[in-house]
Amino acid sequence: FDVQQSEFKREDSEEIMSEFQDLWCENESDTYASNSVYTSYETPADKIQESQYIKLESVWSVVDGEPEEPSLKLLKGVVLSNGSSVYTVEKVLGSGAFGEVAKCTKVGTNEVVAIKVLPKDLKSDAEDGEKALKYLYTLDPDKTNLIRFYESFTFRGSFCFVFEVLDMSLYDLLGQLKWYPPSVAEVRPITQQMFVALSALKSIGVSHTDIKSDNIMLVDHSSQPFRAKLIDFRLACKTANDYENMRVMVKLLGQPDKRLLDAGYKTERFFTLEHSGSAPFWTLKSLDEFEWTTGETVKKSSPVFDSISSLDDLLDMSSKMDDPEEVEDLKAFLDLLKRMLSWNPADRIQPDDALNHPFIIMEHLSKNRNSSYVTAAHEIMAGFQTKDPDSFTAGDADGSVSVIKSTSSEDKDAVSNQSGFQHIEKGLGSFELYRRRRRKNTKRGRRQN
C-alpha cells in the first residue's frame, strides 16, 4: 500500500489509518503509521490550526522486522519542526541527489527562509556539514560573503538546515544570459567576494571543497548587481560527471606529477599505472576504460573544451578585443586562474594573496583612465573595494573577518552600501555602450573585408 504525493480530506485519512492499524499496527506500533501522515504541526506554544487537507508521502516500510520511517518528501503545505521552531513549505526550489531545497515561512514570525533537507542515507554528509556550519556562527555572513545559517534539526529521520533566502545561482544567471560570456571585468567582483569568503573560512579552519557556479548565489541581482554569497558547505554529493571534469583539467592544466598521483587515494579511479617503460607511469583512462571499470555513464562536457588545448589558448580571444586595456585584463585574469588551479596545493595561491593579485586590485588598469573599458571596470568594483587593498583585511588576528571599507568616510560597509551599487549599475551601463561599440566595429570590419 503506497500513496505518493496525494491529497485526502480528513475523514478519508482516518479511514486509511484504520486500515493500516488493522493490517499490522499493534500497541505502540500504531504511532509508526500515524507518523507517515504529514499534517500541520501542532504545539501548545504556537497553537497552529490544522489545515483542511493532509498530505501522505508513503507508509513505513519494514526492515529486519522493524518499521522504518520513509525519507521526508517536501510538498507545498508540509510542516517541518524541531519542537521550538515551526516552518511551512511554500515552494520547492530544487531537488537532486543532494536532497531538496524549499522556500518556507516560519510560523509565528512569517520570516521567509530556505530549508535544505538531506535524506537519512546522507547522514555522514549531513553530520559533516553541520559541524562546518556551526563554525560559521563566529563570522558575520554579510561581511564575509557567506550564506546566513540559522539552525539545523532532524525531522522524520531527515536532516534539515535552515538558511537565509537568496536570489539565484551564478549558473542560473548564466543560463538566463543564454551563456553569453561575461567580460573579465564583470567576473572580477564575483571573484573578489569569493576570495573574501575563502579567507574567512580559512581563518576558522574550514574548507569548502565544492566551489562551482551552482554554489555561488546572487543575493538580489536586480537591486544589488554582482552581490554574491558562497553556499553549500560540505553538503554536496559527488557528481556523476567527475571523469569528464578530470579529463578537461588534465587537458588544460597538464597531468599531475607522479608523486601527487602516487599519494592520491582516488588516483586509480581515473588513471592507470603503466609498466611498459623503464619506470612505472600514470596515464589517464580513456572514456571507455572509465565507464567499463566504474559502470558509470559519462556525459560529454561542452564542445568548447575540444577547441582549446590549454588556458593560454584563451588569449586568442584578444583578437576580438578593440581596447588594449581589455587584453591586459584578460592576461591578468589568466595568470590568477593558473595560480588558482595548480595541481599541487603547496603551489596554489592563498585567498589573502589572491585579494592582492593585480587582477583584483586592477593596478594594470590604473594608468589609462581615458579607456571606456577601464572606466567601466573601476565603476563596477567601486561597490566592493577601495583602490587601496590594505584598507581591509580578510582575516584579523582574532580570527574574525573585517568589513571591506569604502572610500567614503560616511560608508562603513561598501558591500551593503546602496551608493556602491549605483556605481555598479553605472559601470554596467558603460559596459553595454562598450559592447555596442565593439559589435559595430566588428560589423564594419566584416563589410570592409
Which residues belong to the annotated binding site for ATP?
116
Distance in angstroms (rounded) separating the CA atoms of residues 45 and 29: 27
Give, in order, the Cα–Cα distances in Å from 314 to each of 94, 106, 171, 257, 431: 34, 48, 21, 24, 21
Let me know if 262 is a catalytic residue. Answer: no
What backbone phi and psi angles, to 5 degrees, belong to 443? -65, -40
Task: Give the strand pairing for 216-220 and 99-106.
Answer: unpaired
Longest dimension (CA), the chain: 89
Distance in angstroms (rounded) separating the CA atoms of residues 228 and 235: 19
- Per the listing, cell 513549505 goes with 89
Strand order in the sheet with 224-230: 168-169, 216-220, 224-230
Catalytic option among 142, 172, 210, 322? 210
For residue 261, what is the enclosing H or E element? Answer: helix 258-263
Strand order in the sheet with 6-9: 6-9, 53-56, 37-38
Q: Sign of the CA dihedral 356, 361, 365, 369?
A: negative
Q: For helices 418-448 and 184-203, what crossing angle results, to 10°? A: 140
Residue 330 and residue 184 in contact, taking contact as beta carbons nearer than 8 Å: yes
Active-site residue set: 210
